[in-house]
Amino acid sequence: MSTLGEGPGAEQRMRLMREKALGFFAVITASLSHEINNVVAIIGELSGLLDDLLAGTEKGRPLDQEKVKTISERIAKNVKKGEQIIKRLNRFAHSADEPVKDFDLRELLEQVTTIAQRLATLKGVSLEAELPEVSLPIRSNPFSMQQAIVGCIELAFSGSRRNDKITLTFGKEDAGAKITVTGPTHDGSEASQSMLSFLALLMRDLGGTMEASPAGNDTQSLMLHLPKSIERPAN
């Protein structure tokens, strides 16, 4: 099988891959930075509340120690929340460090579910990972794989209504692994068709394939079949 960087139209394909990868990176980092901003805003208001209490004491009001304790606990809680988001952002950014690496598919799916959670919330859709309690070591491109999974989630968003559900799972296959994203059937728009073509290209780059099958009324499963290992660097 030829790589994406070979044959007719190679240059356009490579440009498309680069543009899409950058777009994906931008969407995820923007979303995570928004989450960080929300946490910072809350901590900022809590600090302001402490200032207000102190200003009150300067005017002779007694300091409400219980309230100070509650504020301190809330600050600690939000600092922890912020740390977790930063950890996710950091892990996501480092997933682009190397074109091929060894990782656990289960951990990757957990990470994708968390980083795409806010995108789902904004769509009014629930996103859940229903993952088997087993690790599945794989050698592939973690960044492209996250891009493919989020692409499937975005396709489901296109046909979603409020309170719809999208689930992610994975399983072992003879040749490697299968990731299944089940959710609303995509809306069939030009953008969705274009996303489907791109995902097929991305999966080819990952040495795998993609298939779609109906999973019920207005619901479909998008399945990503991945080899256990890709040795050449993905494009």
Partner 1 sequence: MPADKILLVDDEEEFILILSERMKSRGMSVETAESGPAAIKKAEKQDFDAVILDMMMPGMDGIETLKRLREVNPNLQVIMLTGHATLPNAVEAVKLGAADFLEKPANIATLIEKIKEAKIKKMVLEEKQAEERIRNILKSKGW
Q: List residues near partner 1 by CB under 8 A.
A: 30, 34, 37-38, 40-42, 44-46, 48-49, 52, 74, 78, 121-124, 162
Choose between 125 and 177: whose C-beta lies nearer to partner 1.
125
Choose between 15 and 34: whose C-beta lies nearer to partner 1.
34
Choose between 63 and 175: whose C-beta lies nearer to partner 1.
63
For residue 54, which phi and psi values (nearest 5 degrees)? -65, -40
Q: Which helix (H) or strand (E) holds 182?
A: strand 176-184
* CA–CA distance, 213 with 172 (Å, rounded to integer): 19
> Residue 168 CB, nearest distance to partner 1 (Å)?
20
> Residue 56 CB, nearest distance to partner 1 (Å)?
8
Choose between 3 and 31: whose C-beta lies nearer to partner 1.
31
Q: For residue 212, what are the β-bridge partners?
A: 222
The CA–CA distances, whole Å, from 194 to 128, 202, 222 equal 25, 12, 15
For residue 116, which phi and psi values (nearest 5 degrees)? -90, 0
> Residue 49 CB, nearest distance to partner 1 (Å)?
6
> Residue 102 CB, nearest distance to partner 1 (Å)?
36
CA 226, 202, 218 angle in degrees (round to 5)? 80
